[in-house]
Amino acid sequence: MKYWALIAVGLVFAACDKNDEFAEAPSVEAPAPAEGAAPAKGSATDLPQNHPTMPTNAPQAGAALPGSPVSFNSVDEFGKTGALLWEAPEGWEARKPSSSMRLAEYIVNAEAGPAELTIFYFGVGGGGGVDANITRWIGQFSNPDGSAVNAERSTLESPVKTHLVSAEGTFNPGMAGSSPPKEGQKMLGAIAESSVGLFFFKLVGPKATVDANAQAFDSFVKSFKPGKS
Maximum pairwise Cα distance, the chain: 54
Over residues 64-75, mean pLDDT: 68
Give a three-class secondary structure readout of 29-78. CCCCCCCCCCCCCCCHHHCCCCCCCCCCCCCCCCCCCCCCCCCCCCHHHC
Residue % of the chain over a pLDDT of 70: 67
Question: 3-class DSSP state for residue 169?
Answer: strand
Q: What is the C-alpha separation between 34 and 178, in angstroms, rounded?
A: 34
Is the pLDDT reported for residue 16 higher than 60? no
pLDDT digits (tens, 9 = 90+) for 103-159: 999 999 999 999 999 999 999 888 999 999 999 999 999 999 999 999 999 999 989
- Which CATH architecture is the domain 61-226 placed in? 3-Layer(aba) Sandwich (3.40)
Q: What is the C-alpha separation between 30 and 65, in angstroms, rounded?
A: 14
Q: Evaluate whether 64 touches 70 at the Cβ level (below 8 Å).
A: yes
Give a three-class secondary structure readout of 95-158. CCCCCCCEEEEEEECCCCCCEEEEEEECCCCCCCCHHHHHHHHHHCEECCCCCECCCEEEEECC
Spell out the domain ranges in the chain: 61-226
| DSSP class of 203 | E
